[in-house]
A = this chain, B = another copy of it.
Amino acid sequence: MQTQEMIGAHPDVRGGVNQALVDAIDALYSCAQACTSCADACLAEQMVDRLRQCIRFNLDCADVCAATATIATRRTGSNEEIIRKMLDACVTACRLCGEECLRHAEQHEHCRICAESCRHCEAVCQAAARSV
């Protein structure tokens, strides 16, 4: 991802890059990928009936993260109120999804990696929310 370069080249930013927001954007795209992948991997597991809730949290979390990544990228119109609300929704989505994935982390490697991705994304979104 060339997020930092792109944000730095924005006429309203001129070098004053908000690093916490850049870190959040990268984590959000990454978490959207992990959750989408985990939902599909769960769907392929023999015990899919025990992973219904995990699939749902994965899909919700992927949608919230993808929308927030886009909105945080389009940050310069001083639309901080929306960014903060969306980062806050991400913190919740990542917490719930990460907790559910953790329950299946010993049996399923994809749930273990996804839980880590959610936990990381939750932390950087919290930091970014305080920075905008």
Contacts and interface: CB of A to CB of B under 8 A. Distances in A.
Q: Main SS of chain A's interface residues?
A: helix
A46 B52 CA distance: 11
Given A63-B71, A66-B67, A71-B64, A11 B41 contact: yes
A25 interface: yes
A71 B10 CA distance: 24
Contacts of A96: 79, 81-82
A63 B77 CA distance: 15
Contacts of A56: 40, 43, 74, 76-77, 79
Interface of A: 1-3, 5-7, 9-12, 25, 29-30, 32-34, 36-41, 43-46, 48-49, 52-53, 55-57, 59-60, 62-64, 66-67, 69-71, 73-77, 79, 81-82, 85-86, 88-89, 92-93, 96, 108-110, 113-114, 117
